[in-house]
Structure 1
């Protein structure tokens, strides 16, 4: 019996003949050969059966009522997917014109039954040969389509730099490529147990997401050793025991067929790409396994590329953070202050919201440094900065080191009165630190002078107006004796 790789079960042959005796003889002979059969008495009935159950071959009489074999064959050939379907005409017509017409309408082969008798040996050989050729051609077409699909999947996988997107794309596309019920990826972290982290749509089958893989993963094998140890093909789940890691998984989830291909990064086993069939057993062809092995090599490269990109993004993010922060006080620096001020000014100019600014200066800080030294001065700056940050953390504001001992607080969507309240809280909290400042003319502890301004941003003004107003208010605070808050 011929095995057709793209179908389940024995080939299906449609026998079409209006003579009951011949029809039954053909059916019985085909079934003795191990084929499945359907029968029809005329061309019209044959077309109806073809539409409902696409056969792998048609044995067709030429002379029939209602719709003869010639017109029936021509109609079959017009259907999508039936261009190469084997149609073997078996007829008593032995004239050259009939033979020519048979081939002209698309018959694959032609057998004459002299005196209503059939040469069974010849028929069996013809059927076997045509099915073999059809199977080979269909497999070639299938492989060609799969190769094109594999090229598309590889391009999609390599195109992305986001690991989650890469993995989701892989399982979805492989499910379509293999026409399988479920595809998943199991990751093997350096620490912890392996787990399935991505799966294709389950289509009603059990989800394997986050299911543990109860196996110890050796880390000292070569890439080739990993491939040998972890390449698994199970065509019938009933034939495996729970002794192996995959047998336990198959039994736990009720799988009928299972395929696992390792994903190896360098010498490390990164994970597995797996395909599962729940409804029926399934044989995995060498071509399918080879395709997935090719794909996992490309997937490994894409994973490495995504990981490097993530590391680069993290490094760039850290560099940007460091570039925007003051190293001593660990609050944003003047550069970040300027960027944020422009950003919020432009936003609130459109939304017509208030923007407030607080400029705070440590009173007599030069005297503090001269008295206690620069190390103590640095510690003082740090404590003051963190205290201001704690107060402002309850708002949408940004705290930045504006100058040597001067700090700026930007308060978006905040009118003057609430901004004054924040400034007063800052002044009181810094005073409560009770940082000694024995040579301060204002107080025995470190204090702040603060100036507050508030504007409604618009396209006709610039953020510098807000800064100039706050700076003027700070100047007034110093003129009024320091350790106070003054609005503009």
Structure 2
């Protein structure tokens, strides 16, 4: 990607919603040099475009034919995928009641027409910066600082979504639990700083192995990692686990304290099941943990897996 297209890809996206094309053109002239612009000329179209483009900010006219701006704002805030997108009303209405109503529906600002380009640019810039800060903080809250993978909180949310989505019922879901073998001995031998570098390298190998797989990876805690694999049965999940094991082995990280190899190895437990109504996400974790325990008991540097059902006892 060249510098120009990279810069374009990194620009914030603004959705302009106004039934008057002349107003769209005025706002585009004020903002088009700094942002990616999409537009809609009706409330119904605005909701469709918002779901498609996931804009960073919406400039929303209040008075439009059909669905009014207030209703569009309410619909945006009721949609989990769109609720966090900031909305600025742009309108010729100047009374306090309308402004209060708009803000009470979740809008963050209110700009009156005729549009003053300099004022609009400054307000948009401030709100875009605030949203980007919130996005970074939200990402930090679900990211493991050491490895850059999802953290356990995020993994739990992804697993819950995978299990509880109605469309997923009857499809396969697999979990891989991964543990670095004899990691305490590694830290004792090389120190915690080297141990952190080891975990970072293992996480990178895990990410490389997962590039061809459709799933999510996370640091589950300490030296333990996890993979959530929607749509993968046990056979496919075992193949992916084998790829992970090979990638970690290729790192050839020296480990004098290991009792299985002179380099860092991992043990893995794999659990797969068909999603059925009423199944709890914890079933997959417990089943994979049980298989991980069996892999360790078998001598470590092993992969163990099983298919379980909602009637399985752990």
Q: TM bucket by the smaller chain? A: 0.5 to 0.7
Q: Which residue of structure 2 lines up, in the alignment, with residue 329 of structure 1?
A: 147
Higher RCO (C-alpha 8 Å, min separation 6): 2
After superposition, the Cα gap between the structure-2 partners of 1:319 and 1:198, relative to the gap in structure 1 and judged at 3 Å, is: closer
Q: Which residue of structure 2 lines up, in the alignment, with residue 470 of structure 1?
A: 288
Asked if structure 1 preserves the Cα contact closer than 8 Å seen for 2:14 and 2:38, the reply is: no
Q: Aligned partners of 1:367, 1:484: CA distance in 2, in Å?
A: 19
Asked if structure 1 preserves the Cα contact closer than 8 Å seen for 2:180 and 2:264, the reply is: yes
Which runs of structure 2 are paired with 1:49-198 in the superposition (5 Å)? 163-165=14-16, 171-173=21-23, 185=29
Asked if structure 1 preserves the Cα contact closer than 8 Å seen for 2:213 and 2:240, the reply is: no
Q: Which residue of structure 2 lines up, in the alignment, with residue 358 of structure 1?
A: 176
Which runs of structure 2 are paired with 1:232-311 in the superposition (5 Å)? 295-297=114-116, 299-311=117-129
- Please tell me the root mean square deviation across aligned C-alpha atoms, in Å: 3.1
In structure 1, the residue corresponding to 2:175 is in which secondary structure?
strand
Displacement of 1:163 after TM fit?
Answer: 4.2
Which whole-Å deviations, capped at 9, do the CAs of 1:308-327 have from their partners, x for residues lacking one?
Answer: 22222211111111111000
Asked if structure 1 preserves the Cα contact closer than 8 Å seen for 2:253 and 2:263, the reply is: yes
Q: Aligned partners of 2:38, 2:288: CA distance in 1, in Å?
A: 54
Q: Which residue of structure 1 lines up, in the alignment, with residue 221 of structure 2?
A: 403
Q: Which residue of structure 1 lines up, in the alignment, with residue 256 of structure 2?
A: 438
Q: Whose Rg is larger?
A: 1
After superposition, the Cα gap between the structure-2 partners of 1:187 and 1:467, relative to the gap in structure 1 and judged at 3 Å, is: closer
Asked if structure 2 preserves the Cα contact closer than 8 Å seen for 1:349 and 1:458, the reply is: no
Asked if structure 1 preserves the Cα contact closer than 8 Å seen for 2:16 and 2:38, the reply is: no
Q: Return the TM-score normalized by structure 1.
A: 0.42
Q: Aligned partners of 2:284, 2:187: CA distance in 1, in Å?
A: 30
Which whole-Å deviations, capped at 9, do the CAs of 1:74-125 have from their partners, x for residues lacking one?
Answer: xxxxxxxxxxxxxxxxxxxxxxxxxxxxxxxxxxxxxxxxxxxxxxxxxxxx
Asked if 1:393 is matched to 2:211, the reply is: yes
After superposition, the Cα gap between the structure-2 partners of 1:311 and 1:439, relative to the gap in structure 1 and judged at 3 Å, is: same
Displacement of 1:295 after TM fit?
Answer: 2.1
In structure 2, the residue corresponding to 1:172 is in which secondary structure?
helix
Q: Return the TM-score normalized by structure 2.
A: 0.64
Asked if structure 2 preserves the Cα contact closer than 8 Å seen for 1:349 and 1:459, the reply is: no
In structure 2, the residue corresponding to 1:335 is in which secondary structure?
helix
Asked if structure 2 preserves the Cα contact closer than 8 Å seen for 1:348 and 1:457, the reply is: no
Q: Aligned partners of 1:198, 1:459: CA distance in 2, in Å?
A: 40
